[in-house]
Amino acid sequence: MFKKENFAFGAILGLIAPVIGLVIFKYSKFSSFSFKETFLYMYLEPGHKTLSVALSLSLLLNALLFTLFLNTNKDKTAKGVFITTVVFGVFILLLKTFG
What's the pLDDT score for residue 66? 96
DSSP assigned state of 78: H
What's the pLDDT score for residue 47? 84
Inter-residue contact 88 to 51 (CB < 8 Å): no
Percent of the chain with pLDDT over 70: 97
Angle value at C-alpha 83, between 82 and 88, nearest 5 degrees: 95
Per the prediction, the chain carries an average pLDDT of 92
For 6-51, write each residue's pLDDT tens digit.
999 999 999 999 999 999 999 999 999 999 999 999 989 988 889 9
Q: Where are the alpha helices (DSSP H) in the chain?
A: 7-29, 35-44, 49-71, 75-98
pLDDT tops 70 at residue 69: yes
